[in-house]
Amino acid sequence: MKKIITCAALSLLGLTLPVANADENAIRQAFAKSMPEVKIDSVKASEVSGLYEVMVGSTLLYASEDGKYLLQGRLIDIQTRTDLTEQKLAKTRLSALEKIGQNKMIVFKPKIKKYTVSIFTDIDCGYCRKLHSEIDQYLAEGITIQYLFFPRAGKGSESYDKAVSVWCADDRNAALTAAKKDQKIAPKTCANPVDEHMQLGEDFGVKGTPMIVTDKGNIYPGYLPAKQLVEALESEKKTN
């Protein structure tokens, strides 16, 4: 998996960006010199004068105008009590999910679609199994479930191998349901997106499973019953 920047890594680096002015090329050159392994996706002026947004995958950093300082944290509009960083990250998450595409997910569709959520799941996770055991309740509420794999034990683990076998099954939906019930499924291998799912989960900062990403790009860590999830999705509609 590609490297991502963590707060600890930044503090250890003691990064100083030798930038004479704050244009995009200068910031990119500074990163290339100090952290050549980091790929910058975009550099834009932030809402704060003299502070620039630096997007690295799904990580949002801030560089000072003089290029001497790099920050990682939340930018809050105190007057409106709005998390400006989260707004930007939400859009980035949606773009990343769209890039992967529904054809690389295992999708459970309701008869009448009202909402769509993407869920990072581990086949052997207790609450992931609980959520999937109630899949009919989510579908009854009009929620499309798009599953991405995030075996917490990592690549090569039993959970990882199960995820690959589910993806390679003739009927992925049925295989996933069987695996969630702890039923034995035929071990198979084929070209699969499991590593891509895991990398995206790392980029999104998945700490546990299930992790729900809404169609607004917001995150709900952990299990939510169908009715409670609908309430959260309806609340998003009112605030966006």
Q: Which pLDDT score, from 0 to 100, does residue 7 have?
A: 42
Residues 155, 217, single domain; the answer is yes
Q: Helix, strand, or coil here: 112?
A: coil
User: Distance of CA 77 to CAs 54, 57, 80, 87, 191, Å?
Assistant: 19, 24, 6, 11, 45
Residues 75, 108, single domain; the answer is no
Q: Which pLDDT score, from 0 to 100, does residue 42 have?
A: 83
Residues 125, 215, single domain; the answer is yes
Domain housing 29: 7-79
pLDDT less than 50: residues of the chain? 1-14, 16-22
Q: Which pLDDT score, from 0 to 100, does residue 185 have?
A: 94
Q: What is the pLDDT of residues 211-221, one digit of tens each?
A: 999 999 999 99
Q: Which pLDDT score, from 0 to 100, does residue 66 have?
A: 64
Distance between CA 9 and CA 5 in Å, rounded?
Answer: 6
The predicted model scores a pTM of 0.78
Q: In the chain, what are the helix, strand and coil shares in percent, each to the nearest 5?
A: 40, 20, 40
Q: Helix, strand, or coil here: 124?
A: coil
Assigned domain for 91 exists: no
For the chain, the domain total comes to 2
Residues 70, 109, single domain; the answer is no
Residues 187, 228, single domain; the answer is yes
| CATH number of the domain encompassing residue 28 | 3.10.450.70
Assigned domain for 89 exists: no
Assigned domain for 59 exists: yes
Residues 138, 198, single domain; the answer is yes
Residues 128, 221, single domain; the answer is yes
Kindly state the tokens that stand for 95.
């773009």
Assigned domain for 2 exists: no
Assigned domain for 196 exists: yes
Assigned domain for 139 exists: yes
Assigned domain for 150 exists: yes
Q: Which pLDDT score, from 0 to 100, does residue 210 have?
A: 97
Residues 73, 116, single domain; the answer is no
- Catalytic residue list: 122, 125, 128, 152
Q: Helix, strand, or coil here: 56?
A: strand
Q: What is the pLDDT of residues 48-69, one digit of tens each?
A: 887 888 888 778 888 877 666 7
Q: Which of 116, 121, 122 is nearest to 98 (CA)?
A: 116
Amino acid at 8: A
Phi–psi pair at 6, nearest 5 degrees: -115, 160
Q: Which pLDDT score, from 0 to 100, does residue 9 have?
A: 45
Assigned domain for 85 exists: no
Residues 33, 133, single domain; the answer is no
Q: Which pLDDT score, from 0 to 100, does residue 23 have?
A: 66
Residues 65, 106, single domain; the answer is no
